[in-house]
Amino acid sequence: AMLGAKAGPLAGRRVLVTSGPTHEPIDPVRYLANRSSGRQGHAIAAAAAAAGAQVTLVSGPVAIPDPPGVAVVRVETARAMLAAVEAALPADLAIFAAAVGDWRPAAEQGSKIKKDGSEPQPLRLVENPDILATVARMQEGRPRLVVGFAAETDAVLDHARAKLARKGCDLLVANDVSPAGGVMGGAANTVHLLARDGAVETWPTLAKDEVGRRLVARFAQILDAG
């Protein structure tokens, strides 16, 4: 083996992972955010590094430590996440586990908005770029395997099938995030893996670390097969 080269099922592969929420500023002290601990995305990045890959993790604001052996790029907003993702390409495998804010305030106020005793002003929103769809539809330099996530609260598989087609990714990892499931912020996850040919795998409830390792093992198989 080459000096310094890593062994493992993803040896020699470049992997990009997004994780965590985004924060979309309203004013200097307030933001809009999604609920996301970053645990599942970080677990995937850690598992990919342990499998020998060269991993870049683009992470929104999270309270968990950086995974070992991974290059971490920290961002706040969806637009900054897209720019960091584009800068981190090319990659063989790209996994979009971040809970990206779908909308941002149309304008960020430079000064703190003050209560003034009258009705609060409505917040005007504009749509953020879709990072996954942007990468999945790249004409040049598209990663060979593009994986999306879907967090759904009902009709999980129906929504996931539609999302897989709409986004143009190769695989979609769907999970049920209805409050009863405790996925948000919790240590366990129940996922369904959907492929473009219609195949669906439903995995047992597993620790997010174990989900990360098993997903990475599947992605390595698929890359090796193709």
Q: Is 112 annotated as a binding residue?
A: yes
Following DSSP, what letter does each residue of 139-164 receive, concatenated?
SSS--SEEEEEEEESSSHHHHHHHHH
78 binds, among ligand CTP, Ca ion, none (CB under 5 to 8 A by kind): ligand CTP
- In the block, tokens 């060269």 appear at 54
Q: Is 89 annotated as a binding residue?
A: no
End-to-end distance of the chain based on CA atoms, in angstroms?
24
State CA 28 to chain mean position distance: 26
The residue number with the shortest CB distance to Ca ion is 102
Distance CA 103, CA 90 (A): 27
Task: Map the footprint of ligand CTP across residues 141-160, applying CB under 6 A.
Answer: 148-151
Catalytic hit among 34, 128, 175, 189: 34
By the rule CB under 6 A, 62 interacts with ligand CTP:
no
Q: Are 124 and 106 in contact, with CB atoms under 8 Å apart?
A: yes
**Would you call 57 helix, strand, or coil by DSSP?**
strand
Distance CA 178, CA 107 (A): 32
Structure tokens at 146: 């593009």
Q: Closest CB to Ca ion among 18 and 54?
A: 18
State CA 115 to chain mean position distance: 36
By the rule CB under 5 A, 76 interacts with Ca ion:
no
Among 44, 47, 77, 130, binds ligand CTP (CB under 6 A): 130
By the rule CB under 6 A, 102 interacts with ligand CTP:
yes
- Judge whether 34 counts as a catalytic residue: yes
Q: How far is the CB of 151 from ligand CTP (least distance, A)?
A: 5
By the rule CB under 5 A, 102 interacts with Ca ion:
yes
31 binds, among ligand CTP, Ca ion, none (CB under 5 to 8 A by kind): none
Looking at 62-70, 93-101, 105-113, 138-146, which segment touches ligand CTP (CB under 6 A)?
Answer: 93-101
Peptide bond just before 90 cis, omega within 30 deg:
yes
Q: Is 6 annotated as a binding residue?
A: no
Q: Which residues are annotated as a binding site?
A: 102, 112, 129-132, 149, 163, 167
Instruction: Write out the residues near ligand CTP by the rule CB under 6 A.
Output: 18, 78, 96, 98, 100, 102, 128, 130-132, 148-151, 163
